[in-house]
Structure 1
């Protein structure tokens, strides 16, 4: 049975600052909240810090967790209120049917594979130099760096995730998704200005990027990890309930151990 947890984080505590700076530390703390019998549990998590004074750790687990160690180290253990709220996730999953709309939030790691990075890092240059057969080079995983590319990455994949993002009812296109006009000379010094055909993901949709971060941290073995996280918020409509539930439970995209891939939904009241 899946559980969705929300844990209050006190940003003034030393351990909290480690959480906010190093996803590897959070991963260890999350795994420490699961019973030893849950060896197959692959939790999903993210930190929602839209209010920097009251960040929250959101975690999805298959077994019921215990977050007392996080509250004691990084929360308000002696203050009033609920410090760690744990809810059964099944009632929300039961609401997921084709055609239903939800508000959503997702923190993801939008990347692309390229065999020839434009500006290779020292590690990438070292790997390229050591290759015996460049023609069979395994692609490098590169982060999308612009808002337009990050939105395109998301919108191109929603169908395979079991939902679609409806057309925006009020907002103008997100920056980078506007359809530019094209001016064509027709002779006699005259020109004609017209819009090119609109691509499927250039139509303004009910989604926006609310945060993006570059995280650089070291694992215990000393290896340096760099990930780019992007938080998407908006409205979605279910197209395939079974597929969407599978991605809710298993996550979306890479870097799931480091705070990416957790898609959360909230029913929309008419």
Structure 2
């Protein structure tokens, strides 16, 4: 397996920091903050080129931001934003072998495209959020396409990614759901690519980052 480099930052957020409070309210602002951590000059699609993905893991007492990219400079976070550390993901990729049992966590934006009447043929329907069993089936299918066979699948609703600063007539949020469970690796190369590039839509707003650990 040929691997591209990637690092993961785990940042325990300071809930008293005004920039943290702003970013937790507005997914667009969070995206801007995190894009400062990757190099400049990455072309027309800097997030995609940098491989930037993130997920917010929250408990009753803490908010932890996981940020993944090919390169990250935590010195570019606002002073006092949080305490973070970096981890090289190469050992994790090297451990991905066919048949290996893993635990996973991912937050995703399950959607489907609205079907339009025949008289609107050629037009694109709206993207509609999936919930309940429909969302579970979406994730099971996308996991299989990414090289994972799921054994358990626990959904947890999480706060949507909101965009209160936007005023362009579009929906003000992205629906999100977190999945935790166990799975078996069926295709290590495809899975490594899915970890590096993310799964599904809304990758700029906290969806798509797949975390794996030995089961």
TM-score of the superposed pair, with normalisation by structure 2: 0.87
Displacement of 1:139: 2.0
Pairing partner for 2:126 from 135, 140, 152: 140
Conservation of the 8 A alpha-carbon contact between 1:9 and 1:71? no
Structure 2, unpaired ranges of 5+: 44-48
Task: Note the 1:36-185 alignment, pairs <5 A.
Answer: 36=40, 38-39=42-43, 40-49=49-58, 51-63=59-71, 65-70=72-77, 72-75=79-82, 83-116=83-116, 134-144=120-130, 146-166=131-151
Say what the alpha-carbon RMSD is for the aligned residues.
Answer: 1.9
Pairing partner for 2:155 from 209, 222, 228: 209
Structure 1, unpaired ranges of 5+: 76-82, 118-132, 167-205
Give the aligned length. 203
SS where residue 4 of structure 1 aligns? strand
SS where residue 115 of structure 1 aligns? coil
Displacement of 1:15: 1.5
Cα distance in 2 for partners of 1:164, 1:139 equals 31
Check if 1:265 corresponds to 2:215.
no
Displacement of 1:18: 1.5
Cα distance in 2 for partners of 1:150, 1:12 equals 34
Check if 1:255 corresponds to 2:209.
no
Conservation of the 8 A alpha-carbon contact between 1:5 and 1:87? yes
Change (3 A) 1:219 1:250: farther
Where does residue 242 of structure 1 map in the other structure? 189
Where does residue 177 of structure 1 map in the other structure? none
